[in-house]
Structure 1
Amino acid sequence: MTRLELTVGAVRVEARPAPGGWGLTARWAGHSASQPLPVRAEVWSEGEVEGYSCGYATLEASGGGWVAHARLDLGEDSALSVEDRWSVRGEALHLARRVRVEGDAPGGFLTAFTWTLDGPLGWPDVDAFAPGMLYGWTEHVAPQAIGSQRHYLAGARALRIREDRLPAPLFGVALRDGCSVAALNPAPRGDTTRADALDLEGSPLVDERFTFAAVGGEEADGHLSLGLWFPGTEGEVTYLADTPFAGGQFGNNARRRWRGRFHPLRDGFEQRYEVAFRFAEGERDQDVRRAAWRWAWETLAPQVEAQDVTGAREVLADALEASVVYVEDRAAPLHVMDILVGEAHGPYSHLAMMGFTGRAVETGELLLRESVHLRGEAAERRRRAGLAVLETFARLPVSPPLGEGLDLRDGRPASGVRPDFYLRALGEGGKSMLRAHELERERGTDHPHWLAWCVDLADWLLTQEFPTGGFPRSWRDGTAQVVNADPRSSYSVVPFLVALSQTTGEEKYLASALRAAELCWALDGSRGYFIGGTLDNANVVDKEAGTLTLEAHLALFEATGDRRWLTRARDAADFSETWIYLWNVPMPQDEEDGDLHWKRGVSTVGAQLIATGHSLTDAYMAWDVANYARLARLTGDAHYLDVARLLLHNTKTMLAVPGRTFDLVGPGWQQEHWSFAPPRGRGQHRHWLPWVATSHLEGILALEAYDPDLFRELSLVPHNAPAD
């Protein structure tokens, strides 16, 4: 027999014998990807890495697939015996590999399977997709980050990413004609050790307990390859750390260095792992990512970890109310609290900020909303707290603004650790003040000065609008002089302007919102990614930019009926969900819970990466439950309801509740962020900020207000039910 074939949709995969053994070729839509030597290994010893490869010695048809065998000699003392089973599973080509070590040798090894695309091709010729890390190529990736232009220009051509950095262990490339290839670990395990989790220098480690892989690709000799390496050696760039709690999350400590991870060359030791490949054609960039991501979702089947949503709501509101402090005639939530003792922490704790991390105006609004669920003095106390916060901010000057908030100690305008105030903070503060005004009016109490504050803020914003639409990103505290004129975050003020137009009947606010959203779409959204949401990461691709755009486009669709905004909302939603972890990253086997911030046995499914350039995760998208539920109904796509369900429940797995407070001071508190890549299970601090509670409460309250029956349905999920 001279050839064997498998068919995967429109893809034909061929196996042919050759002098080096059987090799493989995949052909689709005028493209090909080949691997003449399917068995590849790297051996590390005495500080050096040497590569080995061979073809299959035998390959036979079996059960609609293939079974292949090879023996890869690694020198006089050891060899690898390999069995590969190839099969077709749905739209994917699937490889299940078993590797057995023969003989003993010093050092360690990894094995890999990669496809090499027909060329010539380099990284600038394709759009790469690594969820939460790369969307396209290097544009708007932090210069110091994995996948940045700076590292590429310095000669870094390999892009292997540890799968624990990725919400799904998925990596793909799209060619300019709409054809694409993606690699996925369909059965990730992710086990590691304390030594790996706390490695600050990228030192090579050999341990049989490593079960995490790396996915990615390499550029060499005019060709690109992509696939999976096991265990997960990372490089040529990896995130390192200077201290245990810097942790390698932030991109400013990325280094061009290999973080080598290997298995021991011990007689009888076995590797077992899987990798699947999806070949596609005729898709635009957004569709490539959507299809690859949904393939990963269906394959990984993320499990819903059912939470007591009603109980969580109660303790979150209690904690938020407890964070409010009073100084003379001023009131606001503390900006930073130590969740181990429940007290103010650090010099910035008394800075009361609207929007983003401070969420003070949102705190006032949510306390008003939640006061109706209590009775007697408890209800009055919660209502008084909400009113006091809102009155404090209603006295702040906003025409022009002099900051994002105030220092509670003396009442002076301030903007936290930054010397600037930001468009996003103003838009979110204005939106919450307006919603509080409408809520109170519905309940029979009018606060005309709250509405006047919103109008003053919006009218000043309109004086800052560019002729082409959009607004500056930030202004200088105390002067309102433009600091950053980039308009890419203009989506963040759209919901406020749309709502104010509906309240006042003034078309100028809606017209401004439309111009701003059109500009943002033309700059970035039309290419399927969104930037500039997080204030402390200037204009990089980030999750919050996507979720804020989703909210903005839904507001415009509902205000105008123009279905373009619904289509665009869907693109923003598709982008945003690619930051959600679909698999459970286990904490190190030899760690103690007391040393971990994210505790052993708690599923990581549902947490999300924050921004490109680092590997921190949080639960921010608890805020977006209702938006995904609305999108499901508006589009008829039930997948968005699966996303809403996952975000409603799994964002609360590390929330302290009665009977499960972890090591936190009590129910209602949750740490701001964590890392699932080194240092796995740790964050940079043990702090709470108001956004943590307001995100959870907003998601719950907005869903209940949107559809009470749907809220009850999504809240009652059987434990560990699939999210489908």
Structure 2
Amino acid sequence: MRIISHPALWLAILFGQACKGPEAELPQHILEQPLEISALNEKGETLIVYKEGGSDGGTLQLEKQVDAESEHSLTYTYTIHAKADMDISLQKDWTLASTTFEEAEFLLPGFWYKRNLRSPEKAPSFKTADFWSFREDRLSAPLAVGYNPNNGQWVKLERRDSLLRDEKPESMQGNIKLLTDIGSLGIGKGSNQQTLLRGNFPFLESPSSYQSKLKLNPKWMAFYPLKKGEKLKVSWTVSFGKAERFSDMVKNTWETTYDHYKPSQVENTKTDIQIKEVLSNYFYESYAETKDLKGFAGLWFDTKTCENTGVLSVGFCGKTFANAYNLLEYGVQQNNSEHIALARKVLDSYYANGFTYTGLIRELVYGTNAEDVYTLRKQSEGLKNLLFLLDFDKRQGIQRATLEQQIKTLMHRLVELQDKTGGFPRKFDANFKVLDNSTGSTQSIITPMVMAARYFNEPEFMKAAVMAGSYAEKNIIEQSDYFSSTLDANCEDKEAAAIAAVSFYHLALAADDASRQKYVSLAKEAAYFGLSWYYLWDVPFPKESLLGRTNLKTRGWGNVSTENNHIDVWAFDFPHVLEWLARETDEPRFSEMAKVITSSIKDQMLPYEGHMVGVGKVGYMPEIIQHTVWDYGANGKGYLNAHMSVGWTVASIWEVLTPGRFGRFLERYP
């Protein structure tokens, strides 16, 4: 121990034995910067009271310990002993000396990928600032990675303390005092154009705080209140290495972070059959009729009342065909004539009136909606479930020649939209005129094309699926550019990666031996990006908040996108793909995480008698779970948004609980 004495400050710096020897040293391209401790004065202004290596203050004692976790990893632990009452903030920087800001790419899992340049200017990205600092609960794991694509060097900064406490703040901007375990991680440009990684405790959100959809609020900085005689310990781990590609870095980061947290399955209160029984109430409560259609209202419910909106939607978000199929199949399995009759009523209506005069599936029907915009993703999801329904009816001895022809014709029309690269446009009008030529949703059409190729014995559909796969491989997988699969945001998102993994899984099951292994590898690569959005840790909530009272465990829940910073139950058949990948690649983490996801999302927020979790009706699985300081327009961290779309949430949980559908479909149509 070396003690430096000043009239007004005691500084004790402790070096453990792990610090002795070259294994405890950072490489030359990573420069450690001195810790800064700031405090609030009586006016609420920030003052720098101590900079590591200097002398000032008179109100604290500091201990520093550096431990070598491995030859490529160091943990920095600071312990502050308060000599007087004080409200303090810690800031620690590491500079990447051989990586300029202009060339650097970053990973903050579940929130920031590369430079976030797909995101709009009203969401965080380097379009509007060259440095950003974010609360750790925005991230699926509290870490930040800086990556140099030119030399493959990466540096990872992780918070390594237990994050168990977060209280409701008195203000959402400026300087505040707060008892919290949540810090922040910063990325961007430091001095001399070098790349900077920063840890703050408590959190600093700068230059803006992203607290509502497409709304950047002023800078927000928390200070931790310490009483005289109390101590505070904060730890960060810095790791470093090399990766050939950004995707390799993402894979390595996810695997090592998973191994650190080792998330366990969440204990469930209901069986899968009981969960389906609860969800079934949604079908009856949401039943609605328009002038020519019958279906399940799926969108824009008031969360507290869940009054029927009458909005019918195919594909994301209402999932009318998926839900009708689920109810029909379940009704037959349970010998429940009411389930069967309700499902048939909805399907007969759509078979008669659910297509436009040009053959498109009517995606969104309510009131005076013009129905003039159509999307590749909704058409694809509708077609997938229509093909499942055709197969189901065929097994029941029911022939639907007219519907078969409608589906076949529509799929040929969609093939005509495919460009020479294999990409498909995101949106088009009723006459198939392209309205949005962004091709980030291309992977969504692969599954129905594979199914249609088998069902109709139509090689053109398989050719289109293979071309779409080739597009996704070159433009999405190889570029690590997963974007635009959420319908209300065109940015980096979870669903683009997970749908890509699912699509290549389906291609692999349908492929010959020569192509199969390539598709397995592509599914695996996409799966790591999909997994990077799912939480490996449990975010703390204020005890008085809804999610605090519910005791929600966030491990296994996925962030939505860089624009929509909330968690939800989106999973569908992604856990089944992870189970398959575990077998194909001998990677048990995939299977383990699939079980964590499934166990966590299926009934923690399921509303049933005695457990309504802030939702107005039984079975209406909530959509927008606000786990961090962000909301879709109302209520903030620890609560649900005031409105929600439910059709897709019910369909997601149902599909999670019903594995093997696609494989059995292909077996029946070899």
**TM-score (structure 2 length as normaliser):** 0.88
Q: Distance in 2 between matches of 1:358 and 1:32?
A: 51
Q: Deviations over 1:684-716 (max 9, x none)?
A: 324342001000001111258869xxxxxxxxx
Task: Determine if contact 2:298/2:648 at 8 Å carries over to the other structure.
Answer: no
Q: Secondary structure at the match of 1:355?
A: coil
Corresponding letter in the other structure for 2:233: R
Question: Aligned residue for 2:84?
Answer: 103
Question: Aligned residue for 2:492?
Answer: 541
Task: Determine if contact 1:529/1:572 at 8 Å carries over to the other structure.
Answer: no
C-alpha displacement of 1:374: 1.9
Task: Determine if contact 1:622/1:699 at 8 Å carries over to the other structure.
Answer: yes
Q: Aligned pair 1:13/2:24, yes or no?
A: yes
Task: Determine if contact 1:326/1:332 at 8 Å carries over to the other structure.
Answer: yes
Q: Aligned pair 1:355/2:329, yes or no?
A: no
Question: Aligned residue for 2:160?
Answer: 186
Task: Determine if contact 1:470/1:516 at 8 Å carries over to the other structure.
Answer: yes
C-alpha displacement of 1:362: 1.0
Q: Distance in 1 between matches of 2:391 and 2:94?
A: 58
C-alpha displacement of 1:180: 0.7
Q: Aligned pair 1:235/2:192, yes or no?
A: no
Corresponding letter in the other structure for 2:107: F
Question: Aligned residue for 1:203?
Answer: 174
- Residue 597 of structure 2 is aligned with which of 635, 641, 647? 647
- Residue 420 of structure 1 is aligned with which of 363, 366, 373? 373
Q: Distance in 1 between matches of 2:392 and 2:521?
A: 30
Q: Distance in 1 between matches of 2:75 and 2:618?
A: 45
Task: Determine if contact 2:556/2:598 at 8 Å carries over to the other structure.
Answer: no
Corresponding letter in the other structure for 2:365: D
- Residue 114 of structure 1 is aligned with which of 59, 82, 93? 93
Q: CA RMSD in A?
A: 2.8
Question: Aligned residue for 1:340?
Answer: 304
Corresponding letter in the other structure for 1:254: L
Question: Aligned residue for 1:68?
Answer: none
Unmatched segments (≥5 aa) in structure 1: 15-25, 57-71, 240-247, 708-724
Corresponding letter in the other structure for 1:582: L
Q: Aligned pair 1:315/2:278, yes or no?
A: yes
Greater CA drift, 696-705 or 514-523: 696-705
Question: Aligned residue for 1:280?
Answer: 241
CA 1:264–1:485 in 2, change beyond 3 Å: closer, same or farther? same
C-alpha displacement of 1:473: 0.9
Q: Deviations over 1:95-145 (max 9, x none)?
A: 33321122245xx321133322224x4432211000112211233122222
Q: Distance in 1 between matches of 2:538 and 2:574?
A: 21
Task: Determine if contact 2:315/2:363 at 8 Å carries over to the other structure.
Answer: no
Q: Distance in 1 between matches of 2:96 and 2:583?
A: 40
- Residue 305 of structure 1 is aligned with which of 260, 263, 266? 266
Q: Count the aligned residue pairs.
A: 635
C-alpha displacement of 1:581: 1.3
Q: Secondary structure at the match of 2:223?
A: strand
Corresponding letter in the other structure for 2:363: G
Q: Secondary structure at the match of 2:338?
A: helix
Q: Secondary structure at the match of 1:151?
A: coil
Q: Aligned pair 1:40/2:36, yes or no?
A: yes
C-alpha displacement of 1:162: 0.4
Question: Aligned residue for 2:223?
Answer: 262
Corresponding letter in the other structure for 1:325: A
Q: Secondary structure at the match of 2:551?
A: coil
Give runs of aligned pairs for residues 655-674 of structure 1, distance below 5 A: 655-674=606-625
Q: Aligned pair 1:127/2:105, yes or no?
A: yes
Q: Distance in 1 between matches of 2:76 and 2:359?
A: 59
Question: Aligned residue for 1:225?
Answer: 196
Question: Aligned residue for 2:417?
Answer: 464
Corresponding letter in the other structure for 1:236: P
Q: Distance in 1 between matches of 2:71 and 2:611?
A: 41
Question: Aligned residue for 2:215?
Answer: 253
Q: Distance in 1 between matches of 2:221 and 2:257?
A: 26
CA 1:671–1:406 in 2, change beyond 3 Å: closer, same or farther? closer
Unmatched segments (≥5 aa) in structure 2: 3-14, 630-635, 665-670
Corresponding letter in the other structure for 2:593: V
Q: Aligned pair 1:446/2:399, yes or no?
A: yes
Task: Determine if contact 1:468/1:515 at 8 Å carries over to the other structure.
Answer: yes
Q: Distance in 1 between matches of 2:339 and 2:188?
A: 57
CA 1:506–1:703 in 2, change beyond 3 Å: closer, same or farther? closer
Q: Deviations over 1:600-638 (max 9, x none)?
A: 422122221101123221111254221211222222211
Question: Aligned residue for 1:140?
Answer: 118
CA 1:282–1:334 in 2, change beyond 3 Å: closer, same or farther? closer
Give runs of aligned pairs for residues 695-714 of structure 1, distance below 5 A: 695-703=652-660
C-alpha displacement of 1:269: 3.1
Question: Aligned residue for 1:20?
Answer: none
Question: Aligned residue for 1:170?
Answer: 143
Task: Determine if contact 1:78/1:102 at 8 Å carries over to the other structure.
Answer: yes
Give runs of aligned pairs for residues 557-596 of structure 1, distance below 5 A: 557-561=508-512, 562=515, 563-589=517-543, 591=544, 593=545, 596=546
Q: Distance in 2 between matches of 1:391 and 1:41?
A: 68
